[in-house]
Amino acid sequence: MKNILLLGSGGRECALAWKLSQSPLCGTFFIAPGNAGTAEYGINLPVSYNDFEAIGKACIEYKIDIIIPGPEDPLVLGIYDFIKSNPALRHIIVAGPTKAGAQLEGSKAFSKKFMERHNIPTAAYQEFTKDSFEQGVAYIKRSEMPIVIKADGLAAGKGVVIAQNAAEAVKAFRAMVMDEQFGQASSKVVIEQFLDGIELSVFVFTDGTNYVLLPEAKDYKRIGEGDKGLNTGGMGAVSPVPFADDEFMLKVTERIITPTVSGLKQEDILYQGFIFFGLIKVKGEPYVIEYNCRLGDPETEVIIPRLENDLVELILKMEEGKLDEVAVQHSSRAAGAVMLVSEGYPGHYEKGMIMTGFDSVKGSLLFHAGTALKDGKVLTNGGRVLAVTSYGDNITKALEKSYENAALISYSGKYYRRDIGWEFAEK
């Protein structure tokens, strides 16, 4: 039995908590800081996931054997290196990459150069700083439109601008490098070719040499139906992805996944954990839009329910470097998740609305995102509030069930998109 500490407080972590707590290998299970949903599966600790000192203390106090970082921040800040550099903590298994490995997500310039070195298909690009501002403007002027401007570092999902013309592109570029819109994170900028295609999210779990392919997913990022309006963290997700057929996935593994895992190894970058490939299919061919060093949210809420293996066992195999011994099993059932959000999200929204209706839900999994427990009541506590996930014989059936149950949850200002999975509708 292993004592486990999961870091994070979103829908992704609630789905991971649901899964981990089912393992016969799971000992005492903690989530820092967690939410009202994770409290059903383990013990929430009032510790921020970026407070490494407090995490270290909790690990000693609760005899933690395994840490699973949910979000990117602790990984990019070096939680792995922090744990491994402390003699009292270094026996702990960390299911996530080193700080060097997390640069795949933490630095777009790093990830673009990495892909270039390993011949991994991605959009053509150049990188610029304040000192090369004029060259950047010239690059924009001779490029085809639209064009994509990306802050190098983490910018809370706001660091990407798709510009329709050169004036818009220069404006975004100037705001990032000259006006330091995202501080240090935009002191370097990647300017890249716009790829026109359909996106999907592919996930692997690697021990640094071998990897297992997890179910793939598609998420819906815009706030409005018909994929309109502002970008959000994600309003829903489906798995599997019908257009990710065997032929396409073979290209993905041969051209993208295998060269990524072996490229990291060749460069002596220790990477044991999840890799999230944000891909785009253009005329049948896969390209990398971005790497993430963690699982996606809300993708986790559909891929983890479809993973039939014991996740703790996978983590132990990862530690031994023996993921090649694991046969990964994906459920033949589809899964569909609908995210309930707060009125006003992704802009300003209120917290603290009383939530009811949980007991009337039948046949769906409820993964809490922004919720908190107060005096025995569940209150909204974030923009994305609750993911309603269901299984079905196909995506349409899964989503019908999720929508049936989404209607039964009540709180003031509830909003959700009613068209998740629209392009895959079947009878």
CA dihedral 63, 9, 99, 61 (to 10 degrees): -20
Rounded to a whole number of angstroms, the minimum distance from the CB of residue 296 to ligand GLY is 3
Based on CB atoms, which residue is closest to ligand AMP, 151 or 257?
Answer: 151
Tokens (6 digits) for 41: 């599966």
Based on CB atoms, which residue is closest to ligand AMP, 62 or 194?
Answer: 194
423 vs 274: CA distance, rounded Å? 28
391 CB-side CA count, 13 A: 10
- Contact flags string 33-62 toward ligand AMP, x per CB under 6 A: ------------------------------
Closest to 190 measured CA to CA, from 145, 252, 244, 139: 139
Based on CB atoms, which residue is closest to ligand AMP, 208 or 383?
Answer: 383
176 vs 421: CA distance, rounded Å? 34
C-alpha distances in Å from residue 397, one per residue of 295, 307, 331, 336, 337: 25, 19, 15, 9, 12
Contact 351, 412 (CB under 8 A): no
Based on CB atoms, which residue is closest to ligand AMP, 117 or 158?
Answer: 158
Picked from ligand GLY, ligand AMP, none, the partner binding residue 195 (CB below 5 to 8 A depending on kind) is ligand AMP
- Contact flags string 133-172 toward ligand AMP, x per CB under 6 A: ---------------x--------x--x-x----------
Torsion angles phi and psi, residue 108, rounded to 5: -65, -35
Q: What ranges in 202-286 are assigned the alpha helix state H? A: 246-252, 258-266
Tokens (6 digits) for 353: 């609305």
Residues lying near ligand GLY in the complex (CB under 6 A) are found at 219, 234, 292, 296-297, 299
Rounded to a whole number of angstroms, the minimum distance from the CB of residue 219 to ligand GLY is 4
Based on CB atoms, which residue is closest to ligand AMP, 148 or 353?
Answer: 148
Based on CB atoms, which residue is closest to ligand GLY, 339 or 399?
Answer: 339
Three-class SS state of 364: coil
Q: Is 421 left (phi over 0), alpha (psi -120 to 50) or beta?
A: left
Tokens (6 digits) for 57: 């203390």
Based on CB atoms, which residue is closest to ligand AMP, 290 or 343?
Answer: 290
288 vs 290: CA distance, rounded Å? 5
Residues 286-345 contacting ligand AMP, CB under 6 A = 289-290
Picked from ligand AMP, ligand GLY, none, the partner binding residue 299 (CB below 5 to 8 A depending on kind) is ligand GLY
With contacts defined by CB under 6 A, how many residues of the chain interact with ligand AMP?
Answer: 12
133 vs 174: CA distance, rounded Å? 8
Based on CB atoms, which residue is closest to ligand GLY, 67 or 154?
Answer: 154
Residues 173-212 contacting ligand AMP, CB under 6 A = 192, 194-195, 199
C-alpha distances in Å from residue 382, one per residue of 6, 227, 352: 19, 22, 9
Picked from ligand GLY, ligand AMP, none, the partner binding residue 51 (CB below 5 to 8 A depending on kind) is none
Residues 7-36 contacting ligand AMP, CB under 6 A = none
Picked from ligand AMP, ligand GLY, none, the partner binding residue 292 (CB below 5 to 8 A depending on kind) is ligand GLY
Picked from ligand GLY, ligand AMP, none, the partner binding residue 290 (CB below 5 to 8 A depending on kind) is ligand AMP
Choose which of 16, 123, 140, 151 interacts with ligand AMP (CB under 6 A): 123
Give contact residues for ligand AMP (rule: CB under 6 A): 123, 148, 157, 160, 162, 192, 194-195, 199, 278, 289-290
